Structures are given as structure tokens and as C-alpha cells.
Amino acid sequence: MAILAMTSHGQDARATSEEMGMTITEQSTVTRVEEVVAARSNSGFRSGTQPHADTLHFTIDKTAMRAVVEGLVNELHARFLISVGTDARSLTGEYSVLHLFSLDREHLYVLLESPISADDLNIESITNFIPGANWAEREFHDAIGVSPVGHPDPRRLLLADDWPEGVYPLRKDFPYNYRPPRAENVAPQMREAPAGASVLPLGPFFPVLEEPSYWRLFVEGEKVVGCDVRLFYNHRGIEKLGDSVLTYNEIPYLAERICGICGFIHSTAYCQAVEKAVGIEVPRRARYIRTLMLELERVHSHLLWLGIAGHIIGFETVLMQSWRIREPVMWLCEEISGNRKTYGMNTVGGLRRDFPEAMKPKLLEVLGKVEKESVAVRDAVVGDTTLHARTRGVGVLTNDWAKQTCVVGPPARASAVAIDARIDHPYAAYDELPPKISTAEAGDTWARVLVRIGELLESIRLVREALAGLPEGPICAEIKGPIPPGRVGVSVVEAPRGEAVHFVMTGGDNRPYRWRVRAPTYPNLQALPAMVTDGNIADVPITLGSLDPCFSCTERLETVDRKTRDVRVYTRREILEMSRNRRAL
């Protein structure tokens, strides 16, 4: 049964599999998805398109959403990625909620979208069925005011606890530079401890937390019996800036600052989403260089994490050795791009900077040394009995719970969930340079250590292969004319912490109408309460650290006077006073 109609590109969405670049198996999957959506939505089906070979986009009534989601998960084993709430009133007169799913082995994205009338800002929650949708549904309520009815935990997530009621920052009539009224001593809404348990607060600032998060551990003696968490202390309005202030080719610089370690991952994911939405063919050389830089970023990120993990459990030798090994990789990145981080290389259509051919011998030499020394560290830690005592059987994430909470990256693969965007949804040059997935079954902290060490060494191999196969040619496509509005693109890039998801809906004024970002820590942290429950208090820091969490870190502000070169660190009180009085630093 064919229910897919014309795409926004004006192509026949029922084109042959050869024209769409799809295999017969993939085309049969498309047909199966159509059948499930049609059967489950009944009279609630509105439209279906196939905007890209790997993307299906269905619009259904909100009353049918829950049933269709259950069909995708139960019958097709679809995996939830993220939800996107959009204020589409200027386009359709309504809001919309879109749930994004992946059929990993079939290399297919499925977008389920429901229009939401401004007179009835509600949609049935799917969190009771998919626990990993918890934060996503709370976020679109905070952002555009659509309530997920039946959600088991409807507390605020994205917005600060003192944010005014009824003010939704991602509505189009909300100004990006809005300043909320001053509020004092507003406490976060936290759960009460179970009967007989005590509360042990951890954070928002704590020695092993590089960034702020507030955990309330419920303990009985030394045993953790539950916990609650409050995050999102440093929401920076990135998505708002992307669809209201910045242009398409200014956003990559902002995307690169979403994460201090995985910046190139985010700028790549954003550019690929725009490129896919409008059909821009990126030159092969640019794809190879993107792959090379992505894997160098994975190498230095995993070495950074290994050192921090050693520091958390008091194994300072691992910290010092790992960071010493990492430093030459950072120098290489600086020599290639001009910066140790935030390379500024990506642009829509390709790259702004080419890879210098003269660097090949040096890069191979450094990689050889990094590989040799990383193997030495691996061999040392694998046999260390103290390290085993602190990590084996600690922070166990079961395979079932990892799937239910939609965990990604090394934490998922260490629990035998063999997902990797480089294979499931190949991008850049990974269609020619497929990685070997490192997995484990124990699901404990030790398994996550082994997976990351395996990935570190595999990334070195991939960089070598990318260098060997680096083609000649241009590094950026020529884009003729403005980017047309109303197109949708999804890009998933495998960051060191797991897959980063970027959703783009193109708009007018040379900027996206909607840009949605989901970092890998977003789903992974939702699994943590189950991982620490029934464990010891002393194991909580390394269990949290084993997820390699990344929040936005702004603990203090340091300024440099351009004339005198004097450095000054401002206190929190001074920053608050200056911001309230609107004084310049």
C-alpha cells in the first residue's frame, strides 16, 4: 500500500529504489513502515512523504500518535531519538510536535509529526511507554507550551526554577534578548526521600563535577536507594539564536561551542542536516577531511576521559599519562586548523580550510607514538587489581534499561547495544571507512573503560585509512541561490560520548525556521538513577564519570584587559550586579 506522496523537493517519493539509492531490503522496510503507520493511525493519518532516501516523514492527528509510536517500537523495533516542538503558527496557524525515530539496521529515520491547535495545547505522553522520551517531552512543554498529558514527571526541565509562568522561549513571538524579572531564593522542585532514607546532596558544584549538576542521593547508611537530579543550569539559548539571529553559515561557529570537546562533531552534524535538507552534494575530499578531524577529536576526547576517570578514583598516574599522550594530538589539531579546539573549519557545503598535504608524515608519526603509548596504558590498567575493585560490578546498566532509556555511545555499547551512527547512518566518508564496533556485555564501569580504549585505538586506524585514501579535488560545493524554505534534514554524528542529533527545518531570511540539537549526554544521564541505586555512595562519582557527561560549564568569568594585559576574575556577586545594572565589564 503506497501512502507516501510528493516530497518538498517536487520528486516522486515512490521513485524506484535505484533512483533513491536504496537497496531492495530498504525499500521493503519503507513499505512496512507505511503499513504500520497506516494501520495504527486509522482515520488519523494526514500525509506521508519521503524527503530523502533515508527519511520518512508522516503527519498524523495527535490522537493517533501514541498508537503509531507503539506500532513502530513493538513491530519494527524503532529507537526513539528526540522530540521537536515547533511554533509553526506563522506557517500553518498551529504548533507541532515531532517524534524522531531510527530504524538502525535499516538505515532509516522515521519522523512522526502532529499539528497542535493553539486552542488545545495538549498531546498524549509517550514516556510511560518509552522512558527515554521523559526529558524530550518535558522540554517541548517548557519551550513552546504544549503539555504531554499523562507524563509521569511533569516538572520543569529546560527553564530555570524562577522563570516566569506562561512564558515560552521557543515561541516565535518571544524575543531572543528577553530579560526575565528578578527573583530571589527560588528552590528547585525535588522529590522527597523515601521513608527511612536520608538525603545526601551532590552538587551543583563538586570536586569531580567539572560542570554544575545537582543530585539528591537517597541513602540508607552507605547504600544508595534512589536519587533525583536537577540539571540545565547553563541553558544558553543556542537554538533560539539559530532561528532568530544567526544565518546559516554563522551557526556552525555557534554549534561548535555546544561542547568544549566535541565541537567539530556538532558543527558537522548541523552542516550535514542543512546539506541534506536542500540536496547539497559535499565534495568527497571534504567528506574525508571531516572524517579525519572527527576521529582525531575522538582520540583526544577518550584520552581526556580516561585521565578524568583515573582522577575520580584516585589513580593519578592514569590522569598524568593519558593527558601527556593527548597533548601532541591537540598540537596536531592546532597545526591543521589554527586552534586546539573550535577549529572553525566547517561551513554549509564543505570546509573553509583544506588539509595541508605536507602534514601527512608528521600526523602519521604522532599517531604511531600515541598508539604505542596508549597500548602501554591499556596493558597497565587491564591488569590493575585496584582499578578492577573500583569498576567491576559498579554502576551496572542492564541491556534492557539501556534500550528503554535510549542510551547511546560507549555506555550503550558496553551494555551490548551495538549501535553506532557511523555504521547505522553512514555520513562523511564512513561509507568507505566503516569502523569496527567495540562492545561488551557486563554493562558496568569496567566495560565502559574497555569500550572506550578499544574505540581510541580504532580511531587511530581510521585516521590512517582516511589519510591513505584522501582524494584530490575541491573542499566546498558551490551553492547557487538562496536556501529554499520548508525543507527538513536530520543528521546524526557519532560523537565520543555517543550520537549527536541535529534536526533542521529551513526557513526564510537566510536562517533555519527550526534547529533542534540533542547531545549524547541528554539520553545517557536519564539512565543514571537506576545505575547508582543499590550501589555504594563512594561509587557514585565514578559511575557518573563513566558516562563522560558534558553540561555547559560556566562557573566563573575571567577577563583580560586588551591594553594592559591584566587578568581579573569576577565573583558571582560582581557578575550579578553588573548584569542587573547592565554595566560593561
Give 463-489 pLDDT, tens digit per residue. Answer: 999 999 999 999 999 998 899 999 999
The answer to the question of residue 213 being in a domain is: no
Residue, of 177 and 568, whose pLDDT is higher: 177
65 and 157 in one domain? Answer: yes
pLDDT score of 565 more than 80: no
Cα separation, 523 vs 180, whole angstroms: 29
Angle at 160 between CA 342 and CA 528, to 5 degrees: 70
Region 90-101: mean pLDDT is 97
Whether residue 528 is found in the same domain as residue 567: no
163 plus 290 within the same structural domain: no
* Confidence check: pLDDT of 501 > 80: yes
pLDDT at 569: 59
Say yes or no to pLDDT of 14 above 60. no
Distance CA(187)–CA(193), nearest Å, equals: 16
As a residue count, the chain comes to 585
Q: Are residues 151 and 277 in the same domain?
A: no
CB 388 within 8 A of CB 380: no
500 pLDDT exceeds 90? yes
At residue 64, the 3 state secondary structure works out as: helix
Whether 212 maps to a domain, the answer reads no
CATH number of the domain within which 150 lies: 3.30.460.80
* Tally of CB atoms within 10 A around 257: 15
Give the C-alpha separation, 232 to 188, whole Å: 11
Q: Which residues of 285-299 are buried (b: 16+ CB within 10 A; e: fewer)?
A: bbbbbbbbbbbbbbb
| Res. 6 pLDDT band, cuts 50 70 90 | very low
Quote the pLDDT of residue 568.
64
Q: Can you give the residue range of the structural domain that contains 568?
A: 555-585
At 36, list the grid cell. 504500520
If asked whether residues 371 and 514 sit together in one domain, one would say: yes
Is 38 part of a structural domain of the chain? yes
Model confidence at 15, pLDDT cuts 50, 70, 90, reads very low
Same domain, 362 and 504: yes
Please report whether residue 47 resides in a domain: yes
**pLDDT given at position 17:** 37
Return left, alpha or beta for 42; rule: phi > 0 is left, psi -120 to 50 is alpha, else beta.
left
Contact between residue 72 and residue 78 where contact means Cβ atoms under 8 Å apart = yes
21-37: pLDDT as tens digits? 333 447 899 999 999 99
Among the listed ranges 289-293, 340-344, 440-444, 577-581, which one has the minimum average pLDDT value? 577-581
What lies within 8 Å, CB to CB, of 216 at 6+ separation is 190, 191, 193, 199, 200, 201, 202, 227, 228, 229
Share of the chain above pLDDT 90, in %: 77
What DSSP designation does 119 have?
Answer: T
pLDDT, residue 24, reads 41
Predicted pLDDT of residue 540: 93
Q: Which residue has the cell 488519523?
A: 44
Q: What residues does 198 pair with on adjacent strands? A: 219
Domain presence at residue 218: no
Q: For 36-40, 89-93, 337-341, which range has the lowest pLDDT when averaged over its residues? A: 337-341
pLDDT digits 0-9 by tens, 226-247: 999 998 887 778 999 999 999 9
Alpha helices by DSSP H, 171-244: 238-244
HEC string of 476-491 equals ECCCCCCCCCCCEEEE
More reliable by pLDDT, 580 or 251:
251
Q: Which residue has the higher pLDDT, 14 or 453?
A: 453
Picking from 172, 43, 65, 42, the residue whose alpha carbon sits closest to that of residue 111 is 65
Angle at 164 between CA 159 and CA 170, to 5 degrees: 50
Q: Indicate the residue among 126, 159, 189 that finishes a domain.
A: 189
In this structure, the answer to whether residues 519 and 574 fall within a common structural domain is no
| DSSP helix/strand/coil, 504 | strand
pLDDT digits (tens, 9 = 90+) for 65-83: 999 999 999 999 999 999 9
310 is a domain residue: yes
Query: Is 550 a member of any domain?
Result: no
Is the residue at 4 inside a domain? no
pLDDT at residue 123, rounded to an integer: 98
Same domain, 171 and 268: no
Same domain, 345 and 434: yes
**Phi, psi of 580, rounded to the nearest 5 degrees:** -75, -30
CA distances from 580 to 181, 182, 186, 576 (A): 10, 9, 18, 6
Q: Hey, what's the torsion of the CAs at 34, 40, 41, 42, to 10 degrees?
A: 100
Query: Could you give phi then psi for residue 84, rounded to 5 degrees?
Result: -130, 115
* 429 in the same domain as 567: no
- Residue 528 shares a structural domain with residue 572: no
Query: What's the number of domains the chain is made of?
Result: 3
Q: How far apart (Å, rounded) are the C-alpha atoms in residues 64 and 124?
A: 9
- What are the beta bridge partners of residue 62? none
Q: What mean pLDDT value characterizes the chain?
A: 90
Closest by alpha carbon to 143, among 121, 127, 111, 128? 121
Examine the domain organization and report whether 523 and 578 are in the same domain. no
CB environment 330-348: b (16+ within 10 A), e (fewer) = bebbeebbeeebebbbbbb
Say which residue the cell 593519578 belongs to.
Answer: 316
